[in-house]
């Protein structure tokens, strides 16, 4: 009896489980078909709107590519290449600093009759332009010093005078007015002694030492008058001698070439912003470059090596003492007086 009951129970359970399985399977099938339908409709929608998708993808790619091109390159640079870029920046910055102009223009004034001086002036102008500095050769008769010379003091110009001397030490006709005005201005109190302060100049004279008493008089005078008006020589006055037996370099052309070489190197130094090199005898503590100058003085004994010369080759040493800066310093005067007093006391004792 008990066994029969158990068999019935088991049978019931088997039927129940099979029934439930069938029900579950039917439900699963329904779910699957629903999922399939959903996926199918999604894919269909995607397929139908594929044009929009392609367009969107193309736009996104385009934007990404542009951003990459413009900015990402910077970020992906290696540290080495970044280091390499730094000096360029520095150069750019220092380039800006170096842009300070020390010589804006060179004006070569010539007083020539038979053309030698004019030829020299054009040669200077060409060489200066080759250095990248603006330059013009000007016939003195075309230039009125009364109206214009004072402008050269403030315009960072360097003025060069190439002048010939003629009979009795007179200038050429073309330079006559320039010389006359300059001579008068140099002694005229209305102009004052500092009328041409700030003007930088160099002089090259043409002459013939056969005319002993008037040799190169015009260049000497122009140099002197400019100096009297407080203009600054950038180098020693040069002399070209037609007399080949006495000419320093063998001919007026050779004299000129030697002077021109020095002039061009002076000009380069000025253009770099180099100032006058002091002789090492500068006032106590007033010159920051004293040590440097002493070293330089040891290596350079040639008077032509100084940037701001005070006179011609032959006269430089004597006029050096009379330079514009030779005002007696009160401190030095005081020291000298003290020394004298001490010396007196010693001799009395």
Ligand X SMILES: Cc1cc2nc3c(=O)[nH]c(=O)nc-3n(C[C@H](O)[C@H](O)[C@H](O)COP(=O)(O)O)c2cc1C
Tell me which residues touch ligand X (CB under 6 A).
Answer: 112-117, 164-167, 169, 206-208, 211, 214-216, 242, 252
Residue whose CB is less far from ligand X, 58 or 210 = 210
Between CA 211 and CA 180 the distance in angstroms is 22
Name the minimum Å distance from CB 247 to ligand X: 11
Residue whose CB is less far from ligand X, 133 or 162 = 162
Residue whose CB is less far from ligand X, 305 or 313 = 313
Helix (H) or strand (E) holding 138: strand 134-139
Residue whose CB is less far from ligand X, 133 or 206 = 206
Residue whose CB is less far from ligand X, 243 or 268 = 243
Q: What is the DSSP string of 240-284?
A: EES-TTT-SSSSHHHHHHHHHHHHHHHHHHHHTT--PPP-S-PPT
Name the minimum Å distance from CB 165 to ligand X: 4
Name the minimum Å distance from CB 343 to ligand X: 50
User: Which residue from 247, 250, 164 is spatially nearest to 209, judged by alpha carbons?
Assistant: 247
Structure tokens at 106: 């060179």
Name the minimum Å distance from CB 246 to ligand X: 11
**C-alpha dihedral (290, 295, 298, 301), degrees to nearest 10:** -60
Residue owning tokens 């920051």: 288
Name the minimum Å distance from CB 186 to ligand X: 21
User: Which residue's Cβ has the minimum distance to ligand X?
Assistant: 207
CB-based contact 275:321 (threshold 8 Å) = no
Residue owning tokens 């736009």: 59
Residue whose CB is less far from ligand X, 197 or 214 = 214
- Looking at the DSSP assignment, which residues form a beta bridge with residue 239? 205
Name the minimum Å distance from CB 219 to ligand X: 9
């Amino acid at each position: 009896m008990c066994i029969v009951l158990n068999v019935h129970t088991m049978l019931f359970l088997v039927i129940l489980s099979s029934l439930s399985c069938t029900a579950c399977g039917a439900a699963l099938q329904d779910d699957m078909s629903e999922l399939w339908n959903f996926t199918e409709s999604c894919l269909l929608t995607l397929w139908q709107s594929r044009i929009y998708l392609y367009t969107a993808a193309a736009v996104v790619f385009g934007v990404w590519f542009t951003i990459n091109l413009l900015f990402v390159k910077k970020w992906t640079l290696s540290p080495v290449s970044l280091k390499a870029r730094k000096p360029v920046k520095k150069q750019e910055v220092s380039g800006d600093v170096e842009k300070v102009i020390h010589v804006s223009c060179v004006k070569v004034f010539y007083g020539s009759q038979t053309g030698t001086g004019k030829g020299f002036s054009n040669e200077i102008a060409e060489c200066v332009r080759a250095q990248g500095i603006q330059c013009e050769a000007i016939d003195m008769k075309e230039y009125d010093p009364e109206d214009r010379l004072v402008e050269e003091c403030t315009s960072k110009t360097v003025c060069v005078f190439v002048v010939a001397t003629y009979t009795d030490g007179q200038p050429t006709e073309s330079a006559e007015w320039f010389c006359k005005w300059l001579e008068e201005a140099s002694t005229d109190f209305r102009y004052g002694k500092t009328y041409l302060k700030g003007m930088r100049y160099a002089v090259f004279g043409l002459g013939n030492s056969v005319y002993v008493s008037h040799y190169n008089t015009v260049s000497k005078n122009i140099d002197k008058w400019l100096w009297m008006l407080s203009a600054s020589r950038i180098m020693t006055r040069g002399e070209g001698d037609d007399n080949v037996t006495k000419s320093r370099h063998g001919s007026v052309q050779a004299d000129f070439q030697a002077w021109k070489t020095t002039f061009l190197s002076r000009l380069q130094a000025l253009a770099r912003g180099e100032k006058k090199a002091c002789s090492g005898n500068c006032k106590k503590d007033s010159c920051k470059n004293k040590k440097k100058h002493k070293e330089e003085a040891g290596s350079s004994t040639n008077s032509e090596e100084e940037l701001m010369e005070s006179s011609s080759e032959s006269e430089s040493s004597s006029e050096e003492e009379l330079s514009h800066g030779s005002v007696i310093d009160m401190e030095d005067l005081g020291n000298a007086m003290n020394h004298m007093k001490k010396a007196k006391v010693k001799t009395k004792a």
